[in-house]
Amino acid sequence: MSTPATVVVRGARVRGRLTRRAGAGNRVAIACGVVLGLAALVAIFGPLLAPHDPNESNLANAYVGPVAGHPLGFDAQGRDLLSRLLEGARSAMLGPALVVLISVACGATLAIVAAWRGGWVDSAISTVLDIVFAFPAILLAILAAAVFGAGLTAPTIALAIAYTPYVARVLRGAALRERAREYVAASEVQGLPAWRICARHLVPNLAPLIVAQATLLFGYAMVDFAAVSYVGLGVQPPQADWGVMVATGQSGVLQGYPMESLAAGLCLVVVVVAVNLLGERLAQRDSEVSR
């Protein structure tokens, strides 16, 4: 039989474990935020930070390892790898950022409209989203690039369309809960138009969930963009891009020089892992707050 002192001790231990776990989670979130901040800075200022012309080729330096002034060495064309990594960060992150921006905007709008109107509007939107949801994102991106031409535009639009149902499904449930709140009914009684109620109340209350979903989607979009560029339907050589560098570095891997593919692949892995961990932490915090 537990005594009051034993209960107090156990409660203190549980609180201590929860506190340590929360502290570890916060440290992980801070570290991920630092990594993403550095990646964003490199994406913005990468061309200015590049010590050499990323497209300057010198076949005499092909597959030369790290030397003074070239810490990562050269690729098969004799181009400086560090400069190409810094230059390629822009296209590697710009495409996923556009995908997330478009899909979150469309998904949030559809979710709020479906939750607010209900009835046949909700059913029609849900049916369309279910149809789009049946197509894999990477397949749509490859088909769009094959039909409309390689580059950033077609894969961006295709991936944004494919990711919209993921956002809309999650936000629709949250929007339905907010729609049933008393403050919404009070605003309607006051005669406020629907768009003003949504803009002033629903969207701000859904903002934490929207941010969490956007963070998670960014990692998936980055992997899909790299895959599209890897198969030659995304960013086109000689423009630097991390997905392109993974593909063009394959020949070096077979010859015992994996630096190009390894460096670009490592950059992708680090950014994607940081984004996913941060997104999971934000989603977990939002679920704790909602409870």
* 114 touches 126 (CB < 8 A): yes
Q: Is the pTM of this model over 0.85?
A: no
CA atoms in the 13 A half-sphere facing the CB of 205: 19
| SS3 of residue 74 by DSSP | strand
- Tens of pLDDT along 93-123? 998 999 999 999 999 999 999 988 888 888 9
d(CA 158, CA 156): 6
> Whole-angstrom Cα distance, residue 117 to residue 100?
25
Average of pLDDT values for 204-221?
Answer: 88
Burial class (CB in 10 A: 0-12, 13-18, 19+), 249: buried
Q: Residue 6's pLDDT band (boundaries 50, 70, 90)?
A: low
**How high is the mean pLDDT of the chain?**
84
- Torsion region of 119: left, alpha or beta (phi above 0 gives left; psi -120 to 50 gives alpha): left
Q: Right CATH number for 25-290 from 3.30.559.10, 2.60.120.260, 1.20.120.140, 1.10.3720.10? A: 1.10.3720.10
H-assigned helices in the chain: 4-49, 81-117, 119-133, 137-148, 153-179, 182-189, 194-197, 203-230, 242-248, 250-254, 259-290
- What is the model's pLDDT at position 59? 87
What 3-state class would DSSP assign to 67? strand
- Res. 194 pLDDT band, cuts 50 70 90: confident
Determine the residue type at 48.
L
Q: How far apart are CA 16 and CA 11, in angstroms?
A: 8
Which residue is it, tokens 């490199």?
Answer: 42
| Cis before 238 (ω within 30) | yes
Distance CA 254, CA 131 (A): 42
Alpha carbon distance 191, 235 (integer Å) = 51
Tell me the per-residue pLDDT of 112-158, one tens digit each, with 9 for 90 and over: 999 888 888 889 998 998 888 888 888 888 888 888 888 888 889 99
Q: From residue 233, how far is each of 132, 142, 155, 158 by CA, in Å? A: 22, 7, 8, 13
Cα(142)–Cα(232) distance, integer angstroms = 10
The answer to whether 260 and 250 have CB atoms below 8 angstroms apart is no
Least confident range from 66-70, 78-82, 200-204: namely 200-204
